[in-house]
Homo-oligomer: A and B are copies of this chain.
């Protein structure tokens, strides 16, 4: 079916069926690969990791509550029973729309249908100092780096008699009070209150601070006023200091400078403040809209194209149904993936496509033990019931029975014991005499 087989250098067999290339195995890409009819299409799924990441629980990896294998799932295992489906571990560097070809680190590949499901990356708003010195939380690797940094800093705090330096090591500044920032702040507060006093009896943890900085006037701004207010109360109860209406303007030499009067001396800055679409080169600037997202029509088709779709966080939908666009959420990505699979399956049967319709299933966030806010389409809930609901829904959404079982055991164990055993610093730890040189302490991968 492929017209220009000559330009294909990737090792994918030729096929009589049209080739669908999916870039990205996130929520959207995986839905397509799982639901597309492989009697109608040859599927090539590409990702730069060999696993799918369940991003909503990344913060629990960072805060030593879960191991990566609980929230990541090997893509090959997911696709095991799919015929005519090829996974390749590589990165797409460029798309040649004229030639209908993608260019990867392992060669070129021609496509009949292309789906760009490359998601979002951090948006540092061109602040190089923040980009260089802060820690993001978008991938499993980020989360593991952050975990090693957090745990390592307490080991370092023990090694100095200088109180100011010790507090700098134990000051955790999180920028952005969306779900990621709020959930991480809550998890760190639980670490401070329940776990660390037992692990570090000879360290005065009163000096540990968790500062959550938010540019807007409230936390969880996407949720309703009562949920937002409740989340704020929970954070305060747990000892998190919340700074709303505050921008971070610089982070150099461990000093967090803000738009307000306050600045912070902190060894750790977690950036959860902004995301932007990310995708290979080749897309014309005029097709790119707000938040570096590719503009698509109500069928998720890239402008002017009839065979290139963009879905999930990488896309910005222009549809009369959604004059404000759609939020960058896992549920949007998942539904768009499902929609594309259905659209392509219908196309093979000559059934005309219908516009994408988003079914808003609500949002939720957990702040700590027995502390969550949930807004579903049916009802809203806060506190203990919301917390159990949050756990139940996240367990359901996880891929794979084994993952669900292991996560459940970890959560149940933590609930009973306030304690699990996941505080391993696997990344190389640079043990240094912190009294001599605090500025250069890093514990990166």
Which residues on A are within 8 Å of B, measured CB to CB? 10-11, 13, 48-51, 67-69, 72-74, 76-77, 80, 86, 88-91, 104-107, 140-141, 144, 151-152, 155, 158-161, 198-200, 202, 400, 402-403, 405-406, 409, 413, 419-426, 428-429, 431-434, 445
Nearest to A158 among chain B residues (CB) is: B11
Nearest to A140 among chain B residues (CB) is: B426
Nearest to A13 among chain B residues (CB) is: B202
Whether A50 and B151, one on each chain, are in contact in the complex, defined by CB atoms closer than 8 angstroms, is yes
- Closest beta carbon of chain B to A257's beta carbon, Å: 30
Whether B199 and A431, one on each chain, are in contact in the complex, defined by CB atoms closer than 8 angstroms, is no
Whether B433 and A105, one on each chain, are in contact in the complex, defined by CB atoms closer than 8 angstroms, is yes
Whether A159 and B433, one on each chain, are in contact in the complex, defined by CB atoms closer than 8 angstroms, is no
- Select the residue from A74, A141, A425 with max chain B CB neighbours within 10 A: A74
Interfacial chain B residues near A199, Cβ < 8 Å = 74, 76-77, 80
Query: How long is the Cα–Cα vector from A409 to B144 in the complex, in angstroms?
Result: 24
Whether B106 and A68, one on each chain, are in contact in the complex, defined by CB atoms closer than 8 angstroms, is no
Name the one of B13, B51, B151 contacting A425, with C-beta atoms under 8 angstroms: B51
Nearest to A144 among chain B residues (CB) is: B426
Whether B445 and A421, one on each chain, are in contact in the complex, defined by CB atoms closer than 8 angstroms, is no
Nearest to A413 among chain B residues (CB) is: B402
Name the one of B144, B400, B420, B431 contacting A48, with C-beta atoms under 8 angstroms: B431
Query: How long is the Cα–Cα vector from A318 to B63 in the complex, in angstroms?
Result: 48
Whether B11 and A155, one on each chain, are in contact in the complex, defined by CB atoms closer than 8 angstroms, is no
Whether A425 and B67, one on each chain, are in contact in the complex, defined by CB atoms closer than 8 angstroms, is no
Interfacial chain B residues near A433, Cβ < 8 Å = 105-107
- Tell me whether A420 and B402 are in contact in the complex, defined as CB-CB below 8 angstroms, given that A86-B202, A155-B50, A159-B10 are known contacts: yes
Nearest to A73 among chain B residues (CB) is: B421
Interfacial chain B residues near A91, Cβ < 8 Å = 431
Whether A49 and B425, one on each chain, are in contact in the complex, defined by CB atoms closer than 8 angstroms, is yes
A to B CB contacts below 8 Å, 26 in the list? A11-B159, A48-B429, A49-B429, A50-B155, A67-B68, A67-B69, A68-B426, A72-B424, A74-B423, A76-B200, A77-B199, A77-B423, A88-B158, A88-B159, A89-B155, A90-B431, A91-B431, A105-B431, A106-B433, A140-B424, A141-B428, A402-B409, A402-B413, A402-B421, A406-B406, A406-B409
- Closest beta carbon of chain B to A12's beta carbon, Å: 9
Nearest to A106 among chain B residues (CB) is: B159
Whether B198 and A424, one on each chain, are in contact in the complex, defined by CB atoms closer than 8 angstroms, is no
Interfacial chain B residues near A144, Cβ < 8 Å = 426
- Closest beta carbon of chain B to A150's beta carbon, Å: 12
Query: How long is the Cα–Cα vector from A429 to B431 in the complex, in angstroms?
Result: 27
Whether A423 and B50, one on each chain, are in contact in the complex, defined by CB atoms closer than 8 angstroms, is yes
Name the one of B68, B69, B89, B421 contacting A429, with C-beta atoms under 8 angstroms: B89
Query: How long is the Cα–Cα vector from A50 to B429 in the complex, in angstroms?
Result: 9
Whether A69 and B422, one on each chain, are in contact in the complex, defined by CB atoms closer than 8 angstroms, is yes
Query: How long is the Cα–Cα vector from A106 to B298 in the complex, in angstroms?
Result: 61
Whether A69 and B424, one on each chain, are in contact in the complex, defined by CB atoms closer than 8 angstroms, is yes
